[in-house]
Amino acid sequence: MKLVIIGATGHVGSRVMTQALATGHAVTTITPHPETVRRRKRLKVVRGSTSDPGAVAHAARGADVVVVSLTGKTRDGTLMQARLPSIIRGLKRAGSPRLVLVSAFGAGDTIDKAPWYMRLVYRYVLGRIMHDKTASDNLLMASGIPWTIIYPVNLKNSVATGTAVSLRLDQVTKVPGLPILAFDDAAAAILAAAEDPDTQGSQIIVTTAKGFRRARPGADVGQRGTFCTESNRLRTK
């Protein structure tokens, strides 16, 4: 698979890139500072800015999937709304490969699945960034290009367990407590969604093995409601 990663120097994007290369995928990343990216086999680094649709089109031409993992500061309520339109325009010029957007649990309809106290955090403490991610999610869904949106729960730099669970939004009734995933586990789940064409048009929650309550048996979960994966690529021995 030919994969483009936008945000490959971040906590999540860098790990998606490392795992994709280890799996044998060809990876391209775009950055205004190529010197910050370590050269590796099957990795192509393109100099450019995501604010330039032409540069995005150049990087994405011939790609199967583009993963976008960009996160600004907590107070930044404009990053994705500023960046995503030019990325989408560039992808349309490149033939509209599927865009896998890394959002965040607490954005969009996922907030309704959080406990009441976490809903307060998402609305008032993280309100600006969640508003930005919600707006960009909606922009992507209305863009006309193929898409998948990923909503990881809280992430931290810890040892991977290989037990991240990916479920479609309507398969989950609640995400209780404050589940925390390792960056590597989240990256494995994101890569799995990028590899699976059946996730196109899906909003996917990525959480821990105990960090969800499933919709009751027989509930209407849509045409693709059987989707559920456990990311074991990084399972420890």
Residue 36 phi/psi, 5° resolution?
-85, -5
Give me the pLDDT at residue 72, please. Answer: 73
What pTM was estimated for this model as a whole? 0.91
- Sorted by where each starts, the structural domains of the chain and their CATH numbers stand as 2-231 (3.40.50.720)
Contacts (Cβ under 8 Å, ≥6 apart) of 17: 5, 8, 27, 29, 43
Q: What is the pLDDT of residues 38-60, one digit of tens each?
A: 889 999 999 999 999 999 999 99
Taking 70 as the threshold, does the pLDDT of residue 223 lie above it? no
Give me the pLDDT at residue 228, please. Answer: 56
Q: What is the pLDDT of residues 124-177, one digit of tens each?
A: 999 999 999 999 999 999 999 999 999 999 999 999 999 899 999 999 999 999
Q: Do 152 and 193 touch, CB atoms closer than 8 A? A: no
Q: What is the pLDDT of residues 180-200, one digit of tens each?
A: 999 999 999 999 999 999 999
Give me the pLDDT at residue 230, please. Answer: 57
